[in-house]
A and B are shown apart, each in its own frame.
Chain A
Amino acid sequence: DAKTTQPTSMDCAEGRAANLPCNHSTISGNEYVYWYRQIHSQGPQYIIHGLKNNETNEMASLIITEDRKSSTLILPHATLRDTAVYYCIVRVEGGGSNYKLTFGKGTLLTVNP
């Protein structure tokens, strides 16, 4: 799986958009970008994933650059409950032994009142 690089920490004001970047310059053509988050002392939670088109769901939007070497997770209106560690992961979609996720250290997002 391709490695990812994320900032160690970020701050965001409550109600504003939180933009979390991720670099994955060695991503392969068949690898997807996944985002999970982990609130303190809980299990991680899936947020969104995509291949090359931008994706949006009820939790967030994922913007992937045209060369796919980087992406941005956007939380449009951050709340205090969005304070968590956000993990960016790249891997192939589904399939055989590729189900496993490789987590780095992620970005600690702190949403401030």
Chain B
Amino acid sequence: DGGITQSPKYLFRKEGQNVTLSCEQNLNHDAMYWYRQDPGQGLRLIYYSQIVNDFQKGDIAEGYSVSREKKESFPLTVTSAQKNPTAFYLCASSPTSGRGRDEQFFGPGTRLTVL
């Protein structure tokens, strides 16, 4: 089945540790995105990538880093510089051309708790 996978669903880390969240898609989409969601809030864009080996900062990129070495994968690293990393992290992808380019497909999310 085609889709987006994020793992793990729940992740616990100690304060001061970097942690990498995985996001994989087999939809052959060019564009991928990372969002953060805090309780009772909407989604905020962290980073996005429209093509392999290229990515742009979103609205809240500080304390995060990404890479896009493969079309299928867009991992997000939450660094120790991120002051409030505990949140629900959502990955999405979309085509950049053609009929479906306006619909973003979301993964199930990773809930990160920093202790």
Contact = CB atoms under 8 A, between A and B. Distances in A.
Interface string A24-47: 000000001010100001111110
A58 B63 CA distance: 41
Interface residues of B, number: 31
A17 to B, nearest CB: 24
A76 interface: no
B109 A101 contact: no
B92 interface: yes
* Main SS at interface, chain B: strand
A102 B96 contact: no
Contact of B96 (A36, A94, A106): A94
B68 interface: no
Nearest to B101: A94
A105 B40 contact: yes
Contacts of B94: 99
A93 interface: yes
Contacts of B88: 41
A100 B92 CA distance: 10
A92 B20 CA distance: 32
Interface of B: 4, 31, 33, 35, 40-45, 48, 50, 56, 58-59, 88, 90, 92, 94, 96-97, 101-109, 111
